[in-house]
Amino acid sequence: MDKARMEEEDASSLHMLFLQASHIYFSNSYEQLAAKGLHPGQYPMLRLLSQKGGLSQREIAGELHVKPPSVAVSIRRMENAGLVVRAGDAKDQRVTRISLSPKGYEALADIEEILERNQQQMFRGFTDSEECLMRRFLLQIIENMEGKKRC
């Protein structure tokens, strides 16, 4: 097999296509969010706090499956940006509770609007059944990569 054909097959492999699609999606999302002063990594925490406000840093870390120091850095940045507020726990003053500020709720809405637009763009031209099938494939890939067994 000649080198040009090998390179062509490598470029169209599922691995490469998956990486390329993922890179384009995240690059576009990052640019759109950065234009609004937001970071993609803030979305999971903003979403969590909108659903379960008043969480401690430890609770946030547990819910998001990240290390507490990472949460502390994110909270500090988000607090400086006015997206979250801290308040002492009514029962235990050693605990600080984190909640979304009004600006945090606005940021969450902006992020969700951007992600929805990107999802619509990503699945343009797909039928409902093709989109459903893609969802099933992606869930299967996630299960496979996490090492979970199907029942």
pLDDT band at 1 (very low <50, low <70, confident <90, very high): low
Query: How does the average pLDDT of the chain come out, rounded?
Result: 88
Tell me the mean pLDDT in the region 42-62.
Answer: 92
The pLDDT tens digits for 64-81 are 999 989 999 999 999 999
Contacts (Cβ under 8 Å, ≥6 apart) of 38: 107, 110, 111
- Of the chain, the percentage scoring pLDDT greater than 70 comes to 90
The pLDDT tens digits for 7-18 are 566 667 888 988
CA distance 119 to 121: 5
- Determine whether domain 13-126 maps to CATH 3.50.50.60: no
Measured in whole angstroms, how far is the alpha carbon of residue 69 from the centre of its chain?
19
Q: What is the pLDDT of residue 150?
A: 56
The pLDDT tens digits for 90-124 are 888 888 899 999 999 999 999 999 999 999 999 99
Write down the domain spans for the chain: 13-126
Residue 60 reports pLDDT greater than 60: yes
